[in-house]
Structure 1
Amino acid sequence: MTKTILITGSSSGIGKATAKHFADQGWNVIATMRVPEPSTSANVLVTRLDVQDSDSITAAVGTGLERFGRIDVLLNNAGYGAYGLLEATGMDKIRRQFDVNVIGLLETTKAVLPHLRAAGGGTIINVSSIGGKVTFPLGTLYHGTKFAVEGLSEALHYELAAIGVHVKIVEPGFVNTDFGGRSFDFTNDESLTEYQKLVGAFLTRLATDGDEPEVVAEVIYRAATDGTDQLRYTAGPCAAELLAARAATDDATFLGGIEAQFLERI
């Protein structure tokens, strides 16, 4: 039978590219997003799913199963980046960052697990980031969530092996998406003058060319189909270069290099 993937955050960027890639390979695709967009593809179901809305998660899983009869792969892709000064950030923003990037991922996973268990197997792929292995200034919240995704995924891969489910982590680097736009939430308070040179240095370096989302989609497809127990997949040359540098150096050297990129501008 034709396999089915459910993807969160499919309206743009990595999610949209991945939905297209899987559909082109003949898969059924449940492409979910907060505001559904029309689709004319017979093997693509576009439906609403907001990872902060429990009812929408349940409904999307149910609608997908009703349409295609099965879910073989879950791609937890929905997320965004909250950056900025912790001192200036309200608790509502702090909670939202973790609700979307961590709690929503866990709740969507829980909604799909009974079906994977009944089927005797499947795959869950969680989109992490190089930001789950290395950090940059002003990324306390975003990096906190991606480090959490790394840890929970690694622990889950032991747990879900008991029901034949593979857990995979995909780690993109800088990707040419709207991360600097609607998927980026920056908080500053110019009255906190002591931080402003760091803020300026960070924003100057924010415009960095990256890999195309289609590159990440291809890695996600490999993770879904390679039939191995491999846990982590580096997605794209940008990620490979930075993660290799992190693995090859001690904390003092690597952190010193990051500081040199930002703090020397202050």
Structure 2
Amino acid sequence: MNKTILITGSSAGIGKAAAQYFAAKGWNVIATMRSPEKETELTTSDNIFVTRLDVQEKDSMQQVIAEGIKRFGKIDVLLNNAGYGLFGPFELATDAQIKQQFDVNVFGLMHLTQAILPHFRANKGGTIINVSSMGGRITFPIVSLYHATKFAVEGFSESLAYELSALNIKVKLVEPGAIATGFDTAANFTGNPEITDYDDFVQGFLNLWGSKTQERTTAAAVAEVIYEAATDGTSRLRYIAGEDARELLQVRMSGEERYHEHMQQHWMPEMK
């Protein structure tokens, strides 16, 4: 029997690339998204089951899992990929923006993980792969809330890996750098037209970010890393995707003082 992966956020970017890559490798894929009626590419493959799932709707998760099991027999891997970025000064974020950032990036991931675990325990095995970010271990200005969610995913995943190891259930983290998916251009922004004190700094950082991230890792390349995490048979926790992520994380691991000096020198905009 071919193995099966359930993927969240499959309508675009890393999620869609992963669905296509795993399907090409002979896997069955449960490709979930908020608006499956709009999907035209993934629906052409017999081994891809496209279905609706909004990770903010906890009550529908068990039904999606049951439908996937009915279609393919069992689920071997859960890929928690759904997520988005909230950019901008923290002071200007609304309560609703803060809540949604955590609902999607953290609580949705946790709820779906909880929902799949009974199936993995019954099968005496399974793998959970959480798409984090280099932003789960390093930080940039004006992305504090996104970073907060990814740091949460990192800590949650690392601890969970320990407690599930005795049940033959693996937990993996994939940490991409800047990806050519339009992720940051599609990000939500905090803002308040009455507060302009941050404007020059924000624009300065966005210009810096644009100039430093012109060469990006493709979603397809990240999908290959995800496949490695799903199939290498090890208990390795972290998988880095992208040379920019690799370089910055190496700086981080070289020591706090060097890391902070590097970020101040290379990632802070020059202010007049």
Task: Work out the CA distance in 1 between the residues paired with 2:90 and 2:159.
Answer: 28
Q: Matches of 2:256 and 2:204 in 1, distance apart?
A: 22
Partner of 2:122: 118
The one-letter code sitting in structure 1 at the alignment partner of 2:207 is: T
Q: Does 1:106 align with 2:110?
A: yes
Q: Give the match's secondary structure for 2:79.
A: strand
Number of the residue aligned with 1:178: 182
What corresponds to 2:145 in structure 1? 141
1:46 counterpart residue number:
50
Name the residue aligned to 1:58.
Answer: 62
2:78 is equivalent to residue 74 of structure 1:
yes
Q: CA deviation at 1:190?
A: 4.2
Q: Aligned with 1:194: secondary structure? A: coil
Structure 1, unpaired ranges of 5+: none
Between the aligned partners of 1:180 and 1:236, the Cα distance in structure 2 is 16
User: What's the % identity of the aligned pairs?
Assistant: 55
CA shift at 1:218, angstroms?
A: 0.4
The secondary structure found in structure 2 opposite 1:259 is: helix
CA contact (8 A) 2:58 2:111 kept: yes
Shift of 1:264: 2.1
Q: Within 2, Cα distance between the matches of 1:227 and 1:263?
A: 43
Deviation at 1:265, TM superposition (A): 3.8
Q: Which amino acid aligns with 1:256?
A: E
Q: Aligned Cα RMSD in Å? A: 1.3
Identify which range, 235-244 or 6-15, moves more after superposition: 235-244
Runs of 4+ in 1 over 4 A off after TM superposition: none
Matched, 1:247 2:250: no
| Inter-partner Cα distance in structure 1 for 2:146 and 2:221 | 22
Give the secondary structure class of the aligned counterpart of 1:142: helix
Cα distance in structure 2, aligned partners of 1:34 and 1:150: 25
Amino acid at match of 1:136: F
Q: How far apart in 2 are the matches of 1:252 and 1:74?
A: 37
TM-score (norm 2): 0.93
Structure 2: gaps spanning 5 or more residues: none
Matched ranges for 1:152-191 at <5 A: 152-182=156-186, 184-191=187-194
Q: Distance in 2 between matches of 1:25 and 1:223?
A: 14
Other-structure match for 2:237 = 231
1:18–1:171 CA distance, 2 compared to 1 (3 A): same
Number of equivalences: 264
